[in-house]
Amino acid sequence: MKKYLFSLLVLLLPSYVSAQQSRILGGNILTLRTEVGGRLNTMPILQLDGDKTMEISFDEMSHEYHRYLYRVQHCDLYWNDTQDLFFSEFMEATQEEVPIDDYVESQNVTTHYTHYSFEFPNEDMHPLVSGNYRMTILCDDGDEPEPVAEVCFCMLESKVGIIGEVTTNTELDYNSRHQQVEMSIDCSNLQTRDLREEIHTLVMQNDRLDNAVFDARPSYVNGSKLIWEHQRELTFPAGNEYRKYEILSYRYPGMHVDNINFFAPYLHATIDDDAIRRNYLTDEDLNGISVIRNIDNQDDIAGTEYMLTHFKLLCPEPFEDADVFINGKWTTGGISKEWKLTYDDAQHAYVGAFMLKQGYYNYQYLVVSREDQLKRTVFHQPKGYTRPLEGDFYQTSNDYRVLVYFRQPGARYDRLVGMSLLKF
């Protein structure tokens, strides 16, 4: 892999800004998940006055009891704390910090853990306004509660109409390596003065935040409608279908699994060797999702095994100016050092081992330039590129989520007024 090849890829692709993402901060925590309707979602979006809830869960890797609390903060569209709202203005609550009382210890497994879970909104807390929210989970075992995890979610008030499509006739190529989002937003139900200044958008591919497009400027305004057509800024590398593996039993390997063995103190699962993809893979996937399940103990909550899961990506030589990360909706924190692979000269491969629970996993390999990693801030995740390892093929099935924010002059917070999911 020559340095100039990857540099050329970076120059050919547009620049993106990303939002925040749920992440683990410490405290011996693994498998932080946010699910809506039983389906993993990296940044859940709930209707403000709806009856759906999200389930937040995580494992503390022992059988020792810990007292956990959570608190919630409203955020602006850049995921900074909203300074001009009092807690009572954005949240109806019995208290500002709510204990997590639902927990169960693991049973009949090799690695002990305690599974904590709760639903939100609930009788203790219910959001009053739309927008971005950040939930902080704290361990209250000492003198001061210590943050151990953050969960990002959104509350939606549906005020705008969104019509869109995904096309492979893009500003960069035709039926080749890219997909382009075109859309219109009808804001006739909003009282606006300047649509271009008061409306903000976020477009995500498969809920990835590293390459999300924030605040793309509309092509033109037609009355109360904003129109995006032939926008290079809304052109995404198409990627390839996600890779996948499944481990339902510790007694035998599952799909795309080479072997399962016990080396004290852990079970070890070795995924089949992966290779660089040169062609489009026609395969059904779930665009990065994972499902925790097993057939040994039948109890998915407390009877699912943890395994030190080994990945190997065959690669003739390492990238000189970039690193390789494994990525999916289950890689909490997005592109972060905990999901980075290491190049092994003896095996001519990128390798990594991660403590994961049994189940079904979609994943992909992303190449991230070291220059981008150095520039990372709270507003920006380093961008991952699929082309060097997965390839970019226009046929790839992808989901594109569109979020629409609104803030009038003089308003004290950013409202989330629209959401649409476009499929290709």
DSSP string computed for 294-360? -SSSS-TTTSPPEEEEEEEEE-SS--SSEEEEEESTTSTTSS-GGGB-EEETTTTEEEEEEEEESEE
127 plus 187 within the same structural domain: no
> The tokens of 69 are what?
């609390």
Does 66 fall in a domain? yes
**Residues of the chain above pLDDT 70, percent:** 94
The pLDDT value given to residue 15: 34
Structure confidence by residue, pLDDT tens digits, 341-376: 999 999 999 999 999 999 999 999 999 999 988 876
Which domain-ending residue is among 131, 156, 181?
156
- With tokens 């499509």, the residue in question is 165
Distance CA 199, CA 383 (A): 25
The pLDDT value given to residue 8: 34
Which domain-ending residue is among 125, 156, 187?
156
User: What's the mean pLDDT in 125-131?
Assistant: 97
Band (19; pLDDT cuts 50, 70, 90): very low
- The sign of the dihedral angle between the CA atoms of 244, 53, 80, 233 is positive
The pLDDT value given to residue 376: 60
The answer on pLDDT for 86 being more than 80 is yes
The answer on pLDDT for 10 being more than 70 is no
Residue 321: count of CB within 10 angstroms of its CB: 16
Does 251 fall in a domain? yes
Least confident of 38-42, 92-96, 389-393: 38-42
* Helices and strands counted in the chain (H then E): 4, 32
258 plus 226 within the same structural domain: no
245 plus 361 within the same structural domain: yes
152 plus 187 within the same structural domain: no
Query: Into how many domains does the chain fold?
Result: 3
191 plus 229 within the same structural domain: yes
Residue 100's CATH number: 2.60.40
128 plus 166 within the same structural domain: no
Helix (H) or strand (E) holding 105: strand 103-105
254 plus 275 within the same structural domain: yes
Distance CA 218, CA 39 (A): 33
pTM for the whole structure? 0.91
220 plus 249 within the same structural domain: no
- With tokens 């699912």, the residue in question is 304
User: What's the mean pLDDT in 260-269?
Assistant: 96
Residue 206's CATH number: 2.60.40.150
Least confident of 17-31, 193-207, 294-308, 354-368: 17-31
306 plus 282 within the same structural domain: yes
142 plus 50 within the same structural domain: yes
Instruction: Note down the domain range covering 219.
Output: 159-238+397-423
The pLDDT value given to residue 288: 94
Does 250 fall in a domain? yes
> The tokens of 246 are what?
């499944």
Distance CA 334, CA 44 (A): 15
Does 18 fall in a domain? no
